[in-house]
A and B are shown apart, each in its own frame.
Chain A
Amino acid sequence: EVQLVESGGGLVQPGGSLKLSCAASGFTFSGSAMHWVRQASGKGLEWVGRIRSKANSYATAYAASVKGRFTISRDDSKNTAYLQMNSLKTEDTAVYYCTRLAYYYGSGSYSPGGMDVWGQGTTVTVSS
């Protein structure tokens, strides 16, 4: 079964740090680009950032709202992606989802195809 399981959420004070983990199973994790998406209570989905595969130099990209504070990494030997969150603000309070960007084969090449696998989410609360 294809699965993503996040962990590491919790309560942290403003200015603090937290590291989330995303354990993958059931698919070739090392070849997949992994993304983090968050959702504040009652609000919409916000893309946080992504890390590409080794074949794509583990390239990372971040939303402007978290750039310089959050870092995404991965350990392919453990089939796990991470989201290191520093200098946390109250507005970072949200459910954080780990997700995979799928690829499909068509017209002679592989193309991205949306986020087809999502974890159940882990809650991060930033409050004093």
Chain B
Amino acid sequence: DIQMTQSPSSLSASVGDRVTITCRASQGISNYLAWYQQKPGKVPKLLIYAASTLQSGVPSRFSGSGSGTDFTLTISSLQPEDVATYYCQKYNSAPLTFGQGTKLEIK
């Protein structure tokens, strides 16, 4: 099975900072990669699919890139409401594995 590895596991940044989270697949998955945001006590929310397509209603400060094995989620200017745990997920074939998550906090 393909493993998904996110880094870092946690990070702290200041409001306005550019934040980057990476996700690496153990084998190529083309662009079948999604990013989710889960705020404390809330249900996960789809941010990006097909590696770089922004889900409707998601702020444009979020962006995704990558293909094959290496992917990136970028927040261009961190806002207080972005405090959450972020997960990547491959969905090219079962099992639809999630990364272990990146917990983002405000410094």
Q: Spell out A's residues near B (CB within 8 Å).
A: 35, 37, 44-47, 49-50, 61-64, 97, 101-102, 104, 106, 111-116, 118-121
Binary flags per residue of B34-78, CB closer than 8 Å to A gives 1, else 0: 101010000111101110010100000000000000000000000
Q: What are the residues of chain A within 8 A of B45 when measuring CB–CB?
A: 118
* In contact, A113 and B101 (Cβ under 8 angstroms): no
- Answer whether residue B96 sits at the interface, using C-beta atoms and an 8 A cutoff: yes
Q: Spell out B's residues near A (CB within 8 Å).
A: 1, 32, 34, 36, 38, 43-46, 48-50, 53, 55, 85, 87, 89, 91, 94-101
Q: What are the residues of chain A within 8 A of B49 when measuring CB–CB?
A: 102, 104, 113-114, 116
* In contact, B44 and A45 (Cβ under 8 angstroms): yes
* In contact, A47 and B96 (Cβ under 8 angstroms): yes
User: What DSSP secondary structure best describes chain A's contact surface?
Assistant: strand
Q: What are the residues of chain B within 8 A of A101 when measuring CB–CB?
A: 91
Q: Which listed residue, B46, B89, B96, touches A116 by the CB 8 Å rule?
A: B46
Q: How many A-B residue pairs have CB under 8 A?
A: 72
* In contact, B98 and A46 (Cβ under 8 angstroms): yes
* In contact, B44 and A118 (Cβ under 8 angstroms): yes
Q: Which listed residue, B43, B85, B87, B96, touches A35 by the CB 8 Å rule?
A: B96
Q: What are the residues of chain A within 8 A of B91 when measuring CB–CB?
A: 101, 112, 114-115
Q: What are the residues of chain B within 8 A of A118 when measuring CB–CB?
A: 43-45
Q: What are the residues of chain B within 8 A of A119 when measuring CB–CB?
A: 43
Q: What are the residues of chain A within 8 A of B99 when measuring CB–CB?
A: 44
Q: Which listed residue, A45, A61, A121, touches B101 by the CB 8 Å rule?
A: A45
Alpha-carbon gap, A65 to B95, bound state (A):
11
